[in-house]
Amino acid sequence: MTINKELDGTTLTVAVAGRLDTNTAPELEEELMNSLSDVKVLVLDFEGLEYISSAGLRILLSAHKIMSKQDGMKVRNVNQAIQDILDITGFTDILTIE
């Protein structure tokens, strides 16, 4: 898994690529939790994301909870496999997917 962060004013864009599973999730969690304090909008770019497990979904949910107190969180460039997972687990209902 690779993580690329880009801060533009108060908008933080995080591009996640590879497999987001039990082994790699803690890394993303640490990256996000350390950089969300001054961020108003969080954009998650899933263009290179191949797989997301429940551990990954848990991070999405945590980030969603934090950002809902700010100006929100967006998920972008979701491929079909990830979309299926988000659909099945009901995350499509709560996330803003562009």
Q: Is 61 in the site for other proteins (CB under 8 A)?
A: yes
Q: Which stretch binds other proteins (CB under 8 A): 6-14, 37-45, 70-78, 86-94?
A: 86-94
Residue type, 98: E
Of residues 6-25, which lie at the interface with other proteins (CB under 8 A)? Answer: 22
Q: Is 62 in the site for other proteins (CB under 8 A)?
A: yes
DSSP string for 5-73: EEEETTEEEEEEEEEESTTTHHHHHHHHHHH-TT-SEEEEE-TTEEEE-HHHHHHHHHHHHHHTTTT-E
The DSSP call for residue 6 is E
Report the residue from 2, 5, 58, 79 that binds other proteins according to the rule CB under 8 A: 58
Q: Is 54 in the site for other proteins (CB under 8 A)?
A: yes
User: Which residues of the chain form contacts with other proteins (CB under 8 A)?
Assistant: 22, 53-55, 57-58, 61-62, 65, 87-94
